[in-house]
């Protein structure tokens, strides 16, 4: 079984080392100094006080790799449309695409089962290119819970977590998902197959929709955002708007909003991914984490005043920094 990780950054690199050391037939698509370091010295993972080094096949030319059984997309969501042409040589008639990305994936309304069935979301899939060129029928959802960092080119640091829940848009427990889950498990990772993958998408997005943009606006860490009365109240207001939208689609949240905020507070002085991107001068994941929720609010006619205000501010912040 051939697995390609498209985007071997912090998460993709972590997956790549674990899969390669377990004996999986895995290849990585990367670029720049990170790719050069991997080719020269292998890919190093710092985890649990030890170093693990793997030598997976890695390239910046996917055409070298041929058709894959699974393509795991670990890019920032706003980068996917720009690499669709390069990705096509990896895709055969039975290739599955695993969307290990933050936010709402392009296939969200595929086999959704209500009046929005087949709806394409412009904020995350401009012009519907991912839907048309990758195909929603190929998709397997994947939620990324581990935290990892690129310590240096070719070096990944694992911070915490090993869980990657997966699931079919239809909710069926498919043979493909079971095969992929076993590959992850053999690599020491947890990849439970869920029959309600969208519930898990929203549970993670519930925090990202508010904590990420608030942190980019205030430069505050999670513990501060969740402890300060003003930012905590703003986060809660955004989360309640998000919850109303999700529940209109039949999504079920397994925790309440206060418990979700407390969970984030206990993470401590952690900088969100959006704040890290801002500080490093990289484009922020505004659209897949925030704009898409606003778009879904418009589709459902559910008002989102708190999200609208914060979204407007963070877009302006990004524009000033030349990152949007």
Summarised one tens digit per residue, pLDDT across range 86-123 is 999 999 999 999 999 999 999 999 999 889 999 999 99
Q: Is 267 a residue whose pLDDT tops 90?
A: no
Q: How high is the pLDDT of residue 270?
A: 86
Residue 39: pLDDT band (50, 70, 90) is very high
Cα distance between residue 164 and residue 149, in whole Å: 17
Summarised one tens digit per residue, pLDDT across range 193-238 is 999 999 999 999 999 999 999 999 999 999 999 999 999 999 999 9
Residue 187: pLDDT band (50, 70, 90) is very high
Cα distance between residue 67 and residue 90, in whole Å: 4
Per-residue H/E/C for 51-95: EEEECCEEECCHHHCCCCCEEEECCCHHHCHHHHHHHHHHCCCCC
Q: How high is the pLDDT of residue 193?
A: 98
Q: How high is the pLDDT of residue 172?
A: 97
Helix (H, G, I), strand (E, B) or coil at 1: coil
Structure tokens at 167: 């699931």
Q: How high is the pLDDT of residue 85?
A: 96
Q: How high is the pLDDT of residue 212?
A: 97
Helix (H, G, I), strand (E, B) or coil at 159: strand
Q: How high is the pLDDT of residue 171?
A: 97
Q: Which of 204, 236, 266, 271 is catalytic?
A: 204
- 236: annotated active-site residue: no
Question: What are the angstrom distances between the C-alpha of 135 and each of 74, 94, 120, 139, 272?
Answer: 17, 12, 11, 7, 31
Q: Is 5 a residue whose pLDDT tops 90?
A: yes
Q: Is 181 a residue whose pLDDT tops 90?
A: yes
Q: Is 77 a residue whose pLDDT tops 90?
A: no
Q: Across all residues in the chain, what is the average pLDDT?
A: 96
**Mutual orientation of helices 197-218 and 257-267 as an angle, nearest 10°?**
60
What is the pLDDT averaged over residues 136-151? 95
Percentage above 70 pLDDT, the chain: 100
* Residues in Cβ contact with 82 at an 8 Å cutoff, skipping those fewer than 6 apart: none
What is the pLDDT averaged over residues 137-163? 94
Q: Is 78 a residue whose pLDDT tops 90?
A: no
């Amino acid at each position: 079984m051939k697995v390609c990780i498209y985007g071997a950054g912090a998460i993709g690199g972590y997956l790549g080392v674990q899969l390669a050391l377990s004996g999986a037939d895995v290849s990585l698509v990367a670029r720049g100094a990170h790719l050069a370091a991997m080719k020269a010295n292998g890919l190093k993972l710092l985890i649990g006080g030890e170093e693990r080094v793997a030598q997976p096949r890695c390239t910046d030319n996917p055409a070298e790799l041929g058709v894959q059984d699974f393509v795991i997309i670990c890019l920032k969501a706003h980068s996917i449309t720009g690499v669709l042409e390069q990705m096509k040589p990896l895709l055969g008639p039975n290739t599955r695409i695993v969307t290990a990305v933050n936010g709402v994936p392009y296939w969200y309304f595929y086999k959704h089962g209500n009046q929005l069935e087949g709806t394409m979301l412009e904020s995350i899939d401009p012009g519907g290119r991912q839907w048309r060129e990758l195909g929603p029928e190929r998709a397997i959802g994947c939620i990324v819970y581990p935290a990892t960092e690129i310590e240096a080119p070719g070096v990944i640091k694992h911070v915490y977590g090993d869980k990657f829940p997966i699931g079919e848009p239809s909710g069926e427990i498919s043979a493909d998902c079971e095969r992929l889950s076993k590959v992850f498990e053999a690599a020491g990772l947890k990849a439970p197959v869920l029959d309600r993958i969208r519930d898990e998408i929203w549970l993670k997005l519930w925090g990202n929709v508010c904590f990420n943009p608030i942190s980019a606006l205030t430069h505050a860490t999670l513990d501060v955002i969740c402890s300060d009365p003003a930012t905590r109240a703003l986060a809660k207001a955004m989360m309640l708007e998000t919850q109303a939208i999700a529940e209109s689609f039949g999504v079920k949240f397994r925790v309440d909003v206060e418990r979700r905020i407390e969970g984030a507070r206990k993470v401590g002085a952690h900088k969100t991914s959006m704040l890290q991107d801002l500080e490093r001068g990289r484009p922020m994941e505004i659209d897949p984490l925030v704009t898409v929720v606003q778009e879904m609010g418009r589709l459902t006619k559910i008002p989102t005043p708190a999200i609208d205000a914060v979204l407007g501010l963070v877009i302006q912040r990004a524009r000033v920094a030349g990152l949007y």
